[in-house]
Structure 1
């Protein structure tokens, strides 16, 4: 029997498949329970037995999850008949993107290491290069947990088209808008207040510059900021609470009716 034929006819019990795939037995049981990955066979005693076809579906599940899709969406994609060529191509694009960011970081860290080895001193430009590359790699990794590769590429393309203004909007204006929201919240200003709604309007304008008005991408970016504001803002000292609480406050403003403004003198 040829090797590929043996692979097709090989079967795995749950423990063996969990070990080979890096998953837990509990995860495989859960995926079976929700119908995401149901083993093709059962033993007489009722134990799960996975086949080569099940293994192929498992790869697709893991690849789609790596692209940022949730389990419900993955199930819908697979049940609708996902194109395996496109799946592998998208997975490869995601890996290439991650490798490119790491290669940039490696190059700049190597330059920094060489300067340190030469005389123990580091030039300002080399240090800033390394810091920026580190920050970009971390921000990209955070975004990839909330957005699929196509959305991450769209964000990068729109940011590049903005030129130097992108840095100002992301690392100066955006954090300052959060700080203003925090001050209004601390002062007890209701989310429906016009001052808060003006902040929301400006933040949504900025989001549209980078997302093209795509609500899904905007939601993913906000989730990334809530998860890791220190990487998204480029400020390693940023406290997640400084962003999460104002973010909830701003989200409340988006969903409440506005308070009428008083007469202007």
Structure 2
């Protein structure tokens, strides 16, 4: 160790940290680290004979990941799911960056087509068929397939609420929708197939978390939430982005969760 930091030649497991020094080094409180241990987010790999926590190099690496993901706006439960499924902050940022760049490219394509159409109109020219078709194609590329399914159950203002609130969540939105939400459904399906009653506390907790996520995207608008559920029921393949999504299974789980809500 040099100045409290591991040197490049020192193996991660060569040194352990007590909870106090680790809290001070990371800018957290001892109480926070105790809480994270209790909920299983960051548990020390070792304990002394007297029961005191000792964190090793792997634990410190996980602490870094927790703090990096938290800085991107993810909640503790979502972070736990991400890390336990082997998703690290680098992948999170790269995935989000890829989506942003794809959106920029798509919007730039729309901009170029509309500029061309605008120049023709400004020059008192009759727009060419090619320009008009290009503009129509551009309009058709501005939303994912899920928005088509949503459009059958929500009006334009409601879809815009979902889009705006999702954008405000930043990189967290991707993992809330594509990591945590599917994981909650998998847990629900496991409980359903095991014959657990929908009134069981474990199912109720899953529903409560799903409803929390729903509120993040809908702003608590019951009409939007109901429309989204109808869209999932009607076309789970489009909503999930998986053409092979088992529609019957989605609907059975949805019905199971609906019973839990009631």
Q: Shorter-chain TM-score category? A: 0.3 to 0.5
Q: TM-score, normalised by structure 2?
A: 0.46
Q: TM-score, normalised by structure 1?
A: 0.45
